[in-house]
A and B are shown apart, each in its own frame.
Chain A
């Protein structure tokens, strides 16, 4: 029981956490909904599987997967910034293009890794994954506090401002989307090695799982600072797997319902906070109006600021 509801999901969650961190970079930091993820996840798995079956070290293969994802992300970034294509559409175009590219990389729709040596050969997933995930999380935190990282964050926060201070926001966007897809591809490479195969369709719906992890993580664990937010995303990825494991225990639900459940989780997580905020604002406004009405002399206007 504990095994299937806690340790299993934790293992999976940690491996998908890198993908979720990637989605966090585009979705939250750059404010760019990047659908490349569905393709680049498979790209990572495909590159790693191909290289491992052709005698590469699994570590080298994983790093190559990361690089492959970065290249895919850079293409999306270029389409969006230099080609001036709408953000969502650039991601979709790249995702579709990657389907064919991934088939080319893999040579066939499915590569088995059962008999190959992977980074998980002879080591427990739970022994190695926490180290990898924490190391990458810390590196990402550090990066996001460097001069370049700050300009990346400002690009999503106020692009006009950071341009007026001399940062090229086209370049920062490309760097961010590229880094994001590198992490997604690395996650795909790890999943392929752990599950023993790479499959052409393994990336479908990945963006929604990434979003679910980010949103659940931030809602439950908070996102006050970058360090806190990246931790929340990692924990959110684990929590998402726990929720799925619990949901699948419900008798009338099937494994095939997984994507529906994921979509529902994201919808609830997106709608709930905005509804709650709206209610809160309304209640506050009502309270304040009553307060002002009860003061016969009228309010002293102390709060300034622009209406914009």
Chain B
């Protein structure tokens, strides 16, 4: 599956503003793994996501998928393996295009885009069938512009668009953080269902400790550019928010500082 070995990334190297975002990260995801990632401010969680998706290139180290290195591939070239949902509900969809057009663009993930109609009758049926899974009635609004949807609806659509072509790995970058609690709950449930149904290998960054413990079969904790804790499925069952905070203090020698952290 996906493997990250000895990845480091510095910002402003050699200047007074030098910042170590990632230092010697090793992480291997097995097929079907659902890993939640938590950590303090500036721990390198977002940088890790950006390195995997190709938005940034690591200074040293390798990223590989199914044994083949993708370290030097640009973002759009590795998109065929990687589905992504951003924190900003506006980021994952094109607002001035219709729901069916957005789905059509997601449908062609990683393929060459030529002169076939984007929305055909056959594809439309598929889109409807997929949208029905969200259970929020989007299948009846195929021609509505995505900009007219609420933040929660847009994020649900982003999630579906990122997953329905069954990418090798799904990256979720705090994708419920910008939503109100009820909508965040809906997206969390959808995430769980979609990931389970398609058995997607998933890496999810979250600020919600409870969510990090409840979801997935593995949890990693990051601090100052390193992975400081890796909890497997068995240990994870016995984990609580208190224990997790205690672990952080024990390993790093300070309290978890995160202005956005949600304890649950």
Which residues from chain A sit less than 8 Å from chain B, CB to CB?
143, 145-151, 153-154, 157-158, 160-169, 303-308
29 contacts between A and B (CB under 8 A): A143-B115, A146-B114, A146-B116, A146-B118, A147-B108, A147-B114, A150-B101, A150-B104, A153-B94, A153-B96, A157-B95, A157-B96, A157-B97, A158-B90, A161-B91, A162-B105, A164-B82, A164-B92, A165-B110, A166-B76, A166-B77, A166-B79, A166-B109, A166-B110, A167-B105, A167-B113, A305-B183, A307-B178, A308-B90
Q: Are A151 and B119 in contact (CB under 8 A)?
A: no
- Report the bound CA distance from A8 to B119 in whole Å: 40
- Does B32 lie at the interface of the complex (its beta carbon under 8 Å from any beta carbon of A)? no
Q: Are B118 and A306 in contact (CB under 8 A)?
A: no
- Report the bound CA distance from A102 to B108 in whole Å: 41
Q: Are B94 and A304 in contact (CB under 8 A)?
A: no
Inside 8 A of A143's CB, which chain B residues have their CB?
Answer: 115
- Report the bound CA distance from A67 to B98 in whole Å: 32
- Does B163 lie at the interface of the complex (its beta carbon under 8 Å from any beta carbon of A)? no
- Report the bound CA distance from A308 to B87 in whole Å: 10
- The contact of A165 among B89, B106, B118, by CB within 8 Å, is B106
Using A151-B108, A164-B84 as known contacts, list a sample of 14 further A-B pairs with CB atoms less than 8 Å apart, ordered by residue number in A: A146-B114, A147-B115, A148-B113, A150-B97, A153-B96, A153-B101, A158-B93, A158-B94, A162-B105, A163-B75, A163-B76, A164-B79, A165-B108, A308-B89
Contact with A along B218-233 (1 / 0, CB 8 A): 0000000000000000
Inside 8 A of A153's CB, which chain B residues have their CB?
Answer: 94, 96-97, 101
Q: Are A150 and B118 in contact (CB under 8 A)?
A: yes
Inside 8 A of B97's CB, which chain A residues have their CB?
Answer: 150, 153-154, 157
- Does B247 lie at the interface of the complex (its beta carbon under 8 Å from any beta carbon of A)? no
Q: Are B119 and A303 in contact (CB under 8 A)?
A: no
The answer to whether residues A304 and B152 also contact, given A150-B101, A160-B91 and a CB cut-off of 8 A, is yes
Inside 8 A of A146's CB, which chain B residues have their CB?
Answer: 113-118
- Report the bound CA distance from A306 to B174 in whole Å: 13
When C-beta atoms are compared, the residue in chain A nearest to B152 turns out to be: A304
Nearest-Cβ distance from residue A214 to partner chain B, whole angstroms? 15
The answer to whether residues A306 and B79 also contact, given A148-B115, A150-B105, A166-B109 and a CB cut-off of 8 A, is no
When C-beta atoms are compared, the residue in chain A nearest to B155 turns out to be: A306
- Does B140 lie at the interface of the complex (its beta carbon under 8 Å from any beta carbon of A)? no
Q: Are B117 and A145 in contact (CB under 8 A)?
A: yes
- Report the bound CA distance from A166 to B168 in whole Å: 14
Q: Are B91 and A304 in contact (CB under 8 A)?
A: no
- Does B80 lie at the interface of the complex (its beta carbon under 8 Å from any beta carbon of A)? yes
Inside 8 A of B84's CB, which chain A residues have their CB?
Answer: 164
Which of A158, A303, A308 is packed against the most chain B CB atoms within 10 Å?
A158
Top 7 A-B pairs ranked by shortest CB distance?
A: A305-B151, A166-B79, A147-B113, A306-B178, A306-B151, A166-B110, A157-B94
Inside 8 A of A158's CB, which chain B residues have their CB?
Answer: 90-91, 93-95
- Does B53 lie at the interface of the complex (its beta carbon under 8 Å from any beta carbon of A)? yes
Nearest-Cβ distance from residue A171 to partner chain B, whole angstroms? 9
Q: Are A147 and B118 in contact (CB under 8 A)?
A: yes
Q: Are A150 and B113 in contact (CB under 8 A)?
A: yes
Inside 8 A of A307's CB, which chain B residues have their CB?
Answer: 178
- Report the bound CA distance from A52 to B107 in whole Å: 47
Q: Are A148 and B114 in contact (CB under 8 A)?
A: yes
Inside 8 A of A162's CB, which chain B residues have their CB?
Answer: 94, 105
The answer to whether residues A145 and B119 also contact, given A150-B105, A162-B105 and a CB cut-off of 8 A, is yes
Inside 8 A of B30's CB, which chain A residues have their CB?
Answer: none
Q: Are B92 and A147 in contact (CB under 8 A)?
A: no
- Does B251 lie at the interface of the complex (its beta carbon under 8 Å from any beta carbon of A)? no
Inside 8 A of A164's CB, which chain B residues have their CB?
Answer: 53, 75, 79, 82, 84, 92, 162
Contact with A along B170-211 (1 / 0, CB 8 A): 000000001110110000000000000000000000000000
Which of B91, B113, B180 is packed against the most chain A CB atoms within 10 Å?
B113
Which of B101, B150, B179 is packed against the most chain A CB atoms within 10 Å?
B101
Inside 8 A of B94's CB, which chain A residues have their CB?
Answer: 153-154, 157-158, 161-162
Inside 8 A of B109's CB, which chain A residues have their CB?
Answer: 165-166
Within 8 A of A (CB), among B225-246: none
Inside 8 A of B151's CB, which chain A residues have their CB?
Answer: 304-306
- Report the bound CA distance from A308 to B111 in whole Å: 31
- Does B88 lie at the interface of the complex (its beta carbon under 8 Å from any beta carbon of A)? yes
Q: Are B92 and A161 in contact (CB under 8 A)?
A: yes
- The contact of A308 among B88, B105, B108, B162, by CB within 8 Å, is B88
- Report the bound CA distance from A168 to B80 in whole Å: 12
- Report the bound CA distance from A154 to B113 in whole Å: 13
When C-beta atoms are compared, the residue in chain B nearest to A308 turns out to be: B88
When C-beta atoms are compared, the residue in chain A nearest to B106 turns out to be: A165
Inside 8 A of A168's CB, which chain B residues have their CB?
Answer: 74, 76
When C-beta atoms are compared, the residue in chain A nearest to B110 turns out to be: A166
The answer to whether residues A304 and B101 also contact, given A146-B116, A148-B115, A157-B94 and a CB cut-off of 8 A, is no
Nearest-Cβ distance from residue A272 to partner chain B, whole angstroms? 21
